[in-house]
């Protein structure tokens, strides 16, 4: 299994990577082969050359060929070691890496050579940095835009208690500012760890809209962790209350037996039904389905 699943996002592991022990009865709708193709080799070589990570390749995301063909990719910046202990996420925890000052330029170079039209930039949570990595996000967004003219979507950690961090990322004027809610308030601490706070997630999304109403805000939940339908609907209502525009709903998959168990695999019809309810609540765009991940159809959703 990949060592680099998704940071601050829906659990980017594929059904093929779910531990047999962890999930012995994978439902039929989650049995899907990861597509292969030449563009993967090209992308892999380029990423190696430029010492970059994408969530798409490292996690062997089942949607990646679709995303590449739509000229979308998700880059992971600020290293691959996280300072939070989220129970659903297999990103390594421990000693974080030095911020690489040339990373914004390498990211811009890769985006240009891949001909990307929509670039998603995400990171691990860096509580060890005074600004949580906000300045680095700022520099990455500017570098990509200047070099490629691509639309940029940031998928950030919560920057909990870091003065000026949200403001700094907003100042780079990304087209989309995504911060994932991940789960309902009742399960928040259990799923995201003691440091994470549901109210702060809402506050971040509210603050982004307040600072720049032209930026589309986005959030996502992974389902199947034991949340109740009404709790999901209440959470979606909270997101609409803070002006959240775009929503993703996807199935949680357990990366290993050490991670939180899947309580339930939601059938596709239930995702359809929740997606419909979300659209009725006023989300401008909703992606809801077992395979949906934070960046799924990101370009389409942002347009
Ligand atoms: S903050 Fe949580 S979800 Fe994000 S990378 Fe760290 S452990 Fe994973």
Does the Cβ of 215 fall within 6 Å of ligand 1?
no
> For the ranges 58-72, 76-90, 101-115, which has the lowest average pLDDT?
58-72
Tokens of 61: 């995301």
> Which residues contact residue 219 at a Cβ distance below 8 angstroms, ignoring those fewer than 6 apart?
178, 179, 180, 181, 201, 205, 239, 244, 246, 247, 248
Reference 247, options 214, 288, 208, 202; nearest CA is 288
What does the pLDDT read at residue 148? 95
> For the ranges 8-17, 140-149, 263-272, which has the lowest average pLDDT?
8-17
Provide the pLDDT confidence category of residue 230 given band limits of 50, 70 and 90: very high
> Which residues contact residue 2 at a Cβ distance below 8 angstroms, ignoring those fewer than 6 apart?
13, 17, 58, 59, 60, 90
Using an 8 Å Cβ cutoff, are 266 and 29 in contact?
Answer: no
> For the ranges 57-61, 149-153, 174-178, 279-283, which has the lowest average pLDDT?
57-61
Residue tagged 């990211």 (tokens): 107
Round to whole Å and give the CA distance between 181 and 235. Answer: 9
Q: Which atom of ligand 1 is nearest to the CA of 125?
A: 1
Does the Cβ of 157 fall within 6 Å of ligand 1?
yes
Does the Cβ of 91 fall within 6 Å of ligand 1?
yes
Residue 280 has pLDDT above 60, yes or no: yes
Round to whole Å and give the CA distance between 58 and 7. Answer: 12
Q: What is the DSSP letter of 2?
A: -
SS3 163: coil
Residue nearest to atom 3 of ligand 1 (CA): 8
Provide the pLDDT confidence category of residue 58 given band limits of 50, 70 and 90: low
**Mean pLDDT for the stretch of residues 193-219:** 96
What does the pLDDT read at residue 25? 73
């Amino acid at each position: 299994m990949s060592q680099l699943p998704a940071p601050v996002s829906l659990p980017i592991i594929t059904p093929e990577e779910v531990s047999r022990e962890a999930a012995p009865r994978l439902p039929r709708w989650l049995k899907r082969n990861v597509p292969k193709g030449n563009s993967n080799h090209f992308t892999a070589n380029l990423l190696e050359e430029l010492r970059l990570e994408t969530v798409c390749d490292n996690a062997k995301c089942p949607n990646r060929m679709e995303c590449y063909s739509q000229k979308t990719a998700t880059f992971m910046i600020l290293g691959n070691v996280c300072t939070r202990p989220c129970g659903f996420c297999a990103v390594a925890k421990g000693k974080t890496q030095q911020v690489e000052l040339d990373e914004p330029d390498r990211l811009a170079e890769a985006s240009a050579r891949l001909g990307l039209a929509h670039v998603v930039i995400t990171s691990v949570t860096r509580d060890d940095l005074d600004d949580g990595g906000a300045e680095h996000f700022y520099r990455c967004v500017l570098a990509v835009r200047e070099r490629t003219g691509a639309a940029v979507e940031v998928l950030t950690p919560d920057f909990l208690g870091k003065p000026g961090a949200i403001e700094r990322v907003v100042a780079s004027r990304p087209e989309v500012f995504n911060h994932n809610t991940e789960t309902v308030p009742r399960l928040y601490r259990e799923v995201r760890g003691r440091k994470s706070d549901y109210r702060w997630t809402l506050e971040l999304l509210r603050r982004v809209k307040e600072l720049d109403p032209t930026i589309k805000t986005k959030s996502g939940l992974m389902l199947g962790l034991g949340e109740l339908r009404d709790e999901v609907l209440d959470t979606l209502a909270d997101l609409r209350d803070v002006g959240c525009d775009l929503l993703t709903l996807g199935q949680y998959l357990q990366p290993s037996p050490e991670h939180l168990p899947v309580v339930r695999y939601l059938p596709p019809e239930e995702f359809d039904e929740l997606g419909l309810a979300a659209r009725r609540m006023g989300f401008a765009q909703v992606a809801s389905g077992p395979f949906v991940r934070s960046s799924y159809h990101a370009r389409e959703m942002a347009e």
